[in-house]
Chains A and B, each alone.
Chain A
C-alpha cells in the first residue's frame, strides 16, 4: 500500500519549506509521493478520485487561506471521506488558542502545529502514518 502526503497551503514558500524539511528527515521511500496544493479547491477535486483501499493519505493543512479556508477544507473533506480514513495535521501560522481548540472538534485532526515545519512535526507525521497501518 502506498503512502501519500498532501500539503495544502496558499503560501508557496511555506509549501516549499515544509516539503524540504520532510524530505530531509524522512527517507525517500517512506512516502511514495508528496503532493503540494496552493489552492485547496484543486486538492479537493483530486481527492475525489482517490481509492482508499490502495492508498494511505495524510494531509498537512494550513488554516488561513483565501476562498477555501482550512476549516472549509475539513468540512468538504468529510463529504469525500466520511469514514475519516484520511488523517489531518494542522500546520498554520496562527498561534491562536481559539483555533487550536476549534481543531479539537474534528476527530480527523490528529495534531495542531504552528509554522514553521519542524523535526518534531515530521516525527509526529511519521507516527500517524505508522498508526494508520
Chain B
C-alpha cells in the first residue's frame, strides 16, 4: 500500500524516470504532484482537482523547465520528522502516505520538493488497477507522443493536454467530479461527468442550475444528474468542517450506485464521485456469501479455532463451545480445549503441536467425544501451523461434527445394502430364464422386454423394439384369444388376466406359453402401462399330452377288460348257473326219471362249459400270439387262404365270393394276423346269412391318399346298429370254435386288428346285410401298413 515502493534515495534523471517511478510505486488511485515553494505547497497536478489549480503559464513554464533538466529524489516523507508539523498537516487533509522528493537542477540548485501524496480512499481501491493503467497510458503518451513531449511543461497547451488526458483517464475509470466556489458562485464541471452520468457530450452545469431547486424539472430526462445534484446539496448542508468525506449511494433507475465525497479547501469545495455499482453488487454478494457461510457453519456444525503457540492464547468461534458441549459463557482457553479433547478416544492433544510440525504438516483425527449428557459426538479435528502478522506461530484448527453424517452414512449404508438386495432380487427375477417380461404402453407399443424374452423371441441379434410387434410371433389361431384377453385387462385395470398362447421363437420353433396380462396403475390410480408376464409351458404341455394319451390308453384297456370280463362272464357263468340250477332241481325233484334227466343235463352243461373254457384259452393264446407275429404275406395270399378256410361252408351254402381291387393292391404285403381277422369276419357272414337269399360275400380293397380300406360285405340278416353301439357283438359268434360262444370271435377280431394298427367299423341294415370295414390309417407314410 501507498508509496512504500519508492526507493529512499533514488535519482530520477528525467520526467520519464519520474513517471516510471510514480507508476511503479503508486498503488492508490488518487495522487497529487506538488512542489513546495517556500512555506507553501504548490500543486502541479492532482488527479482529482480542477485545472484551475494549475499555475499561471509563466510560472509553470519556469518550474517545468527546471524540473525537466534534472530531478533528484532526496527524501522519503515516511522518514519525515513529525516535529516539522508537515506530517500532521498531511494526515489532517487525509494524506496518509507521501513521498517528498527534492528537485535539484543540473547545477545542483535546489528547486523545491516534489511530494507524492496518497489520499488513501479505500473505497476507490477496487478501481486502482484501472487508474494505474490510465496513468501508465498517460505517461506513455507524454513520453512517446510528440517530440516536444518531454518538454510539455514548457507550454501551457501541453499542460492543458495533460489535463485532458487525466480527465480521459478519470472518465475511463468512472471517476467524476466538480468544483464549487460558493462565494464567487462559480462551478467547474468535469467533462468526464457527462459520459458517467449519461449526459450529452457538451453538457456543462451552470452554478444557477446547481442552486436552483427546480433542476429536477428542468433536467428530468437526466435522472442520474438530478439524483447527484440533490445528494451534493444534502452533502453541502452537512459539510461543516474543512474536509468532509461523505459517502452517498445513489440508486437510480438503472440500479447504478455512486459514492461521492466533498472536500472544502478554502472557498473551493471539491466533489468527487465514482460509480460504485460493481462494488456494491460485490459487497452484497459478499454479504450474502458470508451469511451463507455462517448458515453453512451452523448447519454443518463446523467450528474454527486458533492457538498462538508462544503464549498458549486461544481464540475460537461460537460453534467450538457448542461442539465441545461447553457452557455458553466459557471463554476460549487451551486448557479447557485440551481437557475436552483428552476425553476423546484416540486423541492426544499433546501430540497436536508435534504433528503440525511433522512431515505431514497437519493434524487430523476423527474422535468420539462423550458429552456430559451421555450423548456421543463424532468429531473430526484438523489443524495446521501458520504465522500471524507479527511472525508468531499460530495453529489454525477446525472442528467438524460428524455425528449426523455418521448416522446418515449408516442409514445410507443400510439403504444401499437394502437397495442392493432388492436390485439383486430384481436382477435375479429379470435375468434368470424363468419367465418372460413384456412392458407395453397403454397404446400397445413395446416399452421393454426382459433378457429371457429377448433371447427367446428376438434372438441373439435382436431388432429394434420400436419395429417389433408382440403379436407377430403369436400363432395366428391364438390372435383372437390374445386380443380378447388384452381387452379384458384394459377393461379391468389392476386385475390379472390369464391366457395360454402358442408363440414362435426367433428360430421358428412353436412353444406353449402361459401369460398374465395386467394394467398397472400409477400413484394417482391412473392406468400406466400393461405388464405381461409369461412362462414357457411347452414341457408341461408335452407331459400333459403324454398323460392324456396314457389315460386314453388305460381307459381303452379298461374298456377292453370290461368287455373281456363281460364276455367271460356270459360264457362261463351261464354254464355255471345252469349247473347250479340243475343241482337245485335234483334236490327238489322226487321223481327218479326227472333226476336222471337232470343228471344228463348236468353232463351236457359240464361238456359245454369245458368247451367254452377251451375256446377262451384258445382266444387268449391268439391274443398273445398275434403281438409277436411279424410275418408278412401278400394281401392276395391272405384273401386266398381265408376263402380256402371256408371252402366247404361256401359250397354248402352256394355262396358267391367276389374280390374287388386294383391288381397292384393285392400285391401289398400285410401282417399275417390280418388273415385271422378276415376268417372271423367271414365266419360271421356265413353264420348270419339270410334264409331268404343266397349268400354273397364281397371283399373290396381301396387305397385312398392317407389310408387303406378293406371291406367285407354280406347280404345277411343285418343288425340294428343303434341298439348295438358297442361292437362287443352281442349276436356275432365265433362259430368255428364253439357254436354257442357269445362274442368271443368278434372281440378277438377287433383287438387283433387294433394290434396291427387297424380299426374295425360296421355298416349294417336289418334284412339287407352287414359291411365290416377294416381301415389302416397313415398308409402313405408307411411302406407297410400292417407291419
Chain A residues packing against B (C-beta within 8 Å):
11, 13-14, 16-18, 20-21, 24-25, 64-67, 69, 71-72, 75, 93-96, 114-118
Any chain A CB within 8 A of the CB of B574? yes
CB <8 Å contact, B573 and A95: yes
A116 and B588 CA atoms in complex are apart in Å by 14
| Residues in A neighbouring B731, C-beta threshold 8 A | 65-67, 69
Q: Which of B565-616 contact A (CB under 8 A)?
A: 566, 569-570, 573-574, 576-578, 580-582, 584-585, 588-589, 594, 601, 604-605
Known A-B contacts: A14-B578, A115-B574. Give 16 more (CB < 8 A): A11-B574, A11-B578, A14-B581, A17-B585, A17-B601, A20-B594, A24-B588, A67-B717, A69-B731, A93-B576, A93-B577, A94-B569, A94-B573, A95-B573, A115-B577, A116-B577
Any chain A CB within 8 A of the CB of B742? yes
A65 and B724 CA atoms in complex are apart in Å by 12
CB <8 Å contact, B588 and A14: no
CB <8 Å contact, B578 and A17: yes
Any chain A CB within 8 A of the CB of B549? no
| Residues in B neighbouring A20, C-beta threshold 8 A | 585, 588-589, 594
Contact check: which of B569, B585, B742 meets A66 at CB < 8 Å? B742
Q: Which of B705-741 contact A (CB under 8 A)?
A: 717, 719-720, 723, 730-731, 733
A94 and B572 CA atoms in complex are apart in Å by 10
CB <8 Å contact, B577 and A14: yes
| Residues in A neighbouring B723, C-beta threshold 8 A | 69, 71-72, 75
| Residues in A neighbouring B585, C-beta threshold 8 A | 17, 20-21, 24
A112 and B627 CA atoms in complex are apart in Å by 40
Q: Given contacts A14-B574, A66-B742, A69-B731, are A116 and B569 in contact (CB under 8 A)?
A: no
A71 and B724 CA atoms in complex are apart in Å by 10
| B601–chain A nearest beta-carbon distance, Å | 6
| Residues in B neighbouring A75, C-beta threshold 8 A | 723
A51 and B451 CA atoms in complex are apart in Å by 87
A21 and B589 CA atoms in complex are apart in Å by 9
| Residues in B neighbouring A117, C-beta threshold 8 A | 581, 584
A–B Cβ pairs within 8 angstroms, 26 of them = A11-B578, A13-B604, A13-B605, A14-B577, A16-B601, A17-B578, A17-B584, A20-B585, A20-B588, A20-B589, A21-B588, A64-B742, A66-B730, A66-B742, A67-B731, A69-B730, A72-B720, A93-B573, A93-B577, A94-B569, A96-B569, A115-B574, A115-B577, A116-B577, A116-B578, A116-B584
A1 and B742 CA atoms in complex are apart in Å by 39
* CB nearest to A69 among chain B residues: B730
A86 and B719 CA atoms in complex are apart in Å by 26
| B592–chain A nearest beta-carbon distance, Å | 15
A14 and B578 CA atoms in complex are apart in Å by 6
* CB nearest to B588 among chain A residues: A24
A17 and B573 CA atoms in complex are apart in Å by 15
| Residues in B neighbouring A93, C-beta threshold 8 A | 569-570, 573-574, 576-577
* CB nearest to B572 among chain A residues: A93
CB <8 Å contact, B581 and A18: yes
* CB nearest to A20 among chain B residues: B585
CB <8 Å contact, A21 and B574: no
A36 and B580 CA atoms in complex are apart in Å by 20
Contact check: which of B573, B578, B589, B594 meets A13 at CB < 8 Å? B578
Q: Given contacts A66-B731, A93-B569, A96-B566, are A116 and B581 in contact (CB under 8 A)?
A: yes
| Residues in A neighbouring B720, C-beta threshold 8 A | 72
* CB nearest to B567 among chain A residues: A64
| A87–chain B nearest beta-carbon distance, Å | 22
A54 and B501 CA atoms in complex are apart in Å by 72
CB <8 Å contact, B742 and A115: no
Best-buried of A18, A20, A114, A117 by chain B (most CB within 10 Å)? A20
CB <8 Å contact, A13 and B582: yes
| Residues in A neighbouring B584, C-beta threshold 8 A | 17, 21, 116-118
Q: Which of B534-588 contact A (CB under 8 A)?
A: 566, 569-570, 573-574, 576-578, 580-582, 584-585, 588
A94 and B566 CA atoms in complex are apart in Å by 8
A16 and B585 CA atoms in complex are apart in Å by 10
A69 and B723 CA atoms in complex are apart in Å by 9
CB <8 Å contact, B569 and A115: no
| A116–chain B nearest beta-carbon distance, Å | 3
* CB nearest to A23 among chain B residues: B588
5 cross-chain pairs, A with B, having the tightest CB-CB distances, nearest first: A116-B581, A115-B577, A17-B581, A93-B574, A66-B731
